[in-house]
Amino acid sequence: MKYIDQIEMKGKKVFLRVDFNVPIKEGKVTSDNRVRAHIPTINYALEKGAKIIIASHLGRPKGKRVEEMSLGPVAPILSGLIQQEVVFVDDCVGEKVTQAISKMKNGDVILLENLRFHPGEDKNDAAFAKELASLCDIYIDDAFAVSHRAAASNSAITDYVKTCAAGFLLKNEIEYFQKALINPARPLAAIIGGAKVADKIGLLENLIEKVDKLLIGGGMSYTFLKAQGINVGKSLCEEDMLDTARKIMQKAKEKNVQFILRVDAVIAKTASADAEVKVCDIKNIPEDWMGLDIGPATIALFSDALKDVKTIVWNGPVGMFELAPFSKGTFALAKIIADSGAISIIGGGDTETAIRQAGLNTKMSYISTGGGAFLELLEGKTLPGIAALDKC
């Protein structure tokens, strides 16, 4: 795979695939984090005198024009961040686009309309990819968040552009993944939270082959506890996953991986902000109560387990942090990781949200921009968007 800093771009038309899938409310962008993530790549291309044609998806319009999913509101945001005009074109192929590109000078920036307004995008259609490729001399993919899905703008397009490379954001994702699981500083610990074991079977099975310690939190932990014969009350539990949970724990034992579960819980009768809350030992959850966060003993246990580690991978909150009574565990864990001195690699939208709410996002080594893509990498899967660049 080539990277953007290995190719000559001066005077070239560069098609830059980004992830500007930002939240928009009443026609205004409410968070520009995803736009900011691509600024190093965009600024580098500007410095090198490229003609930059930026393309992205937004939402799931399913091949139809949906005005609420237009990328138009992103253009002024990007313009402010790079401190120059960004021309918005309300399509991504066709005469309107080719005319706008024909007028470009070195250092100009165009933002195209939502790629997913065309059905050929999600279908990885060769004809649509060929139209996109005809707009440029160079293709740069910087959209890690969609690299786990084969689309015309990140897969088929590479068949029709001679020079293809990855941008800095995609490069960072790949390099930190390698630090996490290919060649990590050890001991390596993974913390996996979230609701369901079923959603993360592949992830857990792959991690057991890689890590030294595996810490389990969130709702999924109760399935593992129930599999050990512990009564978890009304806590979330996947009865159909108990055998799978036992197999995962047995595999961890065979691989000499420390498999660490909660020892206490913050419990309530309902998952609400005004619920009565108690802390109890994990073996003493009443029948009509449910666990919604890790308790202080588990926080101490996790902290002790992470003291000597050199690399930490974290995916999934360890409690229902959206509600204040059940946020302490996730926020405490974020602080432990931030202060650990270990390489910390964070993935998953909810985990990122929790870390930002805790005000600790700048203390982490790396926060991945791709939820599903990050998970699939951790599962050991080949991502189509990355495979397409590898073959160029």
Catalytic residue numbers read: 34, 196, 349, 372
Q: In this structure, are strands 264-268 and 278-281 parallel, antiparallel, or unpaired?
A: antiparallel
Cis peptide before 23 (omega within 30 of 0): no
Q: If you write DSSP's letter for every residue of 253-319 in order, what string do you get?
A: HHTT-EEE--SEEEEESSSSTT---EEEEGGG--TT-EEEEE-HHHHHHHHHHTTT-SEEEEES-SS
Question: What are the φ/ψ torsions at residue 292 (nearest 5 degrees)?
Answer: -130, 0
CA 191 from chain centre, in angstroms, equals 15
Residue 111 is given by DSSP the state E
Count CB atoms within 10 A of the CB of residue 355: 26
Rg (CA), the chain: 23
Which residues, listed in sequence order, are joined to residue 17 by a DSSP beta bridge? 55, 141
- Distance in angstroms (rounded) separating the CA atoms of residues 270 and 277: 9
- Distance in angstroms (rounded) separating the CA atoms of residues 4 and 65: 32
